[in-house]
Structure 1
Amino acid sequence: MRYLTAGESHGPQLTTILEGFPAGMPLLAEDINEGLARRQKGHGRGRRMQIEKDTAEIVSGVRHGQTLGSPIALVVKNNDWKHWTNIMGAEPLKEGQEDEIKRKITRARPGHADLNGAIKYGHRDMRNVLERSSARETTVRVAAGAVAKKLLSLVGVDVVAHVVEIGGVTAKVDSSLSINELKERAELSPVRVADPNVEVEMMAAIDDAKKNGDSIGGIVEVIVTGMPAGIGSYVHYDRKLDAKLAGAIVSINAFKGVEFGIGFEAARKPGSEVHDEIAWNEEMGYYRKTNRLGGFEGGMTTGMPIVVRGVMKPIPTLYKPLMSVDIETKEPFAASVERSDSCAVPAAAVVAEHVIAWELANSLVEQFYSDRFDTFMDEIKRQREYAREF
Structure 2
Amino acid sequence: MLRYLNAGESHGEGLIGIIEGLPANLFIDIDYINSELKRRQRGYGRGKRMEIERDSINILSGVRGGFTIGSPLTLYIENKDYKNWYKKMSIMDEITENIITKPRPGHGDLAGVIKYAQKDIRNILERASARETAMRVAIGAIAKLILKEFNIDICSHVTEIGGIEDKGHYSISEILNINSSLRIIDKKIEGKVIDKIDECKEKGDTLGGAFKIFAINLPIGLGSHSHWDRKLDGKLAQGLMSLQGIKVVEIGEGMNISKKLGSQVHDEIFYDNGYYRTTNNAGGIEAGISNGENIILKGYMKPIPSLKIPLKSIDMDTKKEYLAHKERADVCAVSSASIVGESILSWIIAEELIIKFGGDSIQEMKNNYTKYIKYIKKR
Q: What is the TM-score normalised by the length of structure 2?
A: 0.98
Q: In the alignment, which of 176, 200, 205 is matched to residue 196 of structure 2?
A: 205
Q: In the alignment, which of 297, 308, 327 is matched to residue 338 of structure 1?
A: 327
Distance 2:12 2:159 in 1: 34
Q: Which amino acid is the alignment partner of residue 71 of structure 1?
A: P
Aligned-pair identity (%): 44
Distance 1:63 1:265 in 2: 49
Q: What is the CA distance between 1:372 and its match in structure 2?
A: 1.0
Distance 1:218 1:137 in 2: 20
* Other-structure match for 1:120: 115
Q: Which amino acid is the alignment partner of residue 123 of structure 1?
A: Q
SS class of match (1:333):
strand
Distance 1:182 1:130 in 2: 34
Residues 308 and 247 of structure 1, relative CA distance in 2, 3 Å threshold: same
SS class of match (2:206):
coil
Say if 1:227 and 1:301, in contact at 8 Å, map to a contact too.
Answer: yes
Q: Does 2:351 correspond to 1:362?
A: yes
Say if 1:228 and 1:383, in contact at 8 Å, map to a contact too.
Answer: no
Q: Which runs of 5+ in 1 are unaligned?
A: none
* Other-structure match for 1:27: 28
Q: Does 2:173 correspond to 1:196?
A: no
* Other-structure match for 1:10: 11
Say if 1:21 and 1:370, in contact at 8 Å, map to a contact too.
Answer: no
SS class of match (2:60):
strand
Q: In the alignment, which of 162, 165, 170 is matched to residue 165 of structure 2?
A: 170
Q: Does 2:100 correspond to 1:109?
A: no
* Other-structure match for 1:278: 269
Q: What is the CA distance between 1:382 and its match in structure 2?
A: 2.0
* Other-structure match for 1:133: 128
SS class of match (1:85):
coil
SS class of match (2:222):
coil
* Other-structure match for 2:175: 182
Q: Which runs of 5+ in 2 are unaligned?
A: none
Distance 1:307 1:89 in 2: 43
Say if 1:287 and 1:302, in contact at 8 Å, map to a contact too.
Answer: no
- Matched residue count: 378
Give the 5 Å matches for 1:1-390. Answer: 1-93=2-94, 98=96, 101=97, 103-175=98-170, 177=171, 179-185=172-178, 188-282=179-273, 285-390=274-379
Q: What is the CA distance between 1:379 and its match in structure 2?
A: 1.3
More off after superposition, 207-216 vs 235-244? 207-216
SS class of match (2:221):
coil
SS class of match (1:17):
strand
Q: What is the alpha-carbon root mean square deviation over aligned residues?
A: 1.0
Structure 1 residue ranges, 4+ long, deviating more than 2 angstroms after superposition: 172-175
Q: Which amino acid is the alignment partner of residue 357 of structure 2?
A: F
Distance 1:369 1:113 in 2: 39
Distance 2:64 2:174 in 1: 34
Q: Which amino acid is the alignment partner of residue 374 of structure 2?
A: E
Distance 1:258 1:370 in 2: 32
- For residues 44-76 of structure 1, the C-alpha deviation after alignment (integer angstroms, 9 at most, x for no partner) is 000000000000101110111101111110000
Distance 2:198 2:31 in 1: 32
Q: What is the TM-score normalised by the length of structure 1?
A: 0.95
Say if 1:220 and 1:345, in contact at 8 Å, map to a contact too.
Answer: yes
Q: What is the CA distance between 1:371 and its match in structure 2?
A: 0.7
Q: What is the CA distance between 1:336 and its match in structure 2?
A: 1.1
Distance 1:174 1:133 in 2: 35
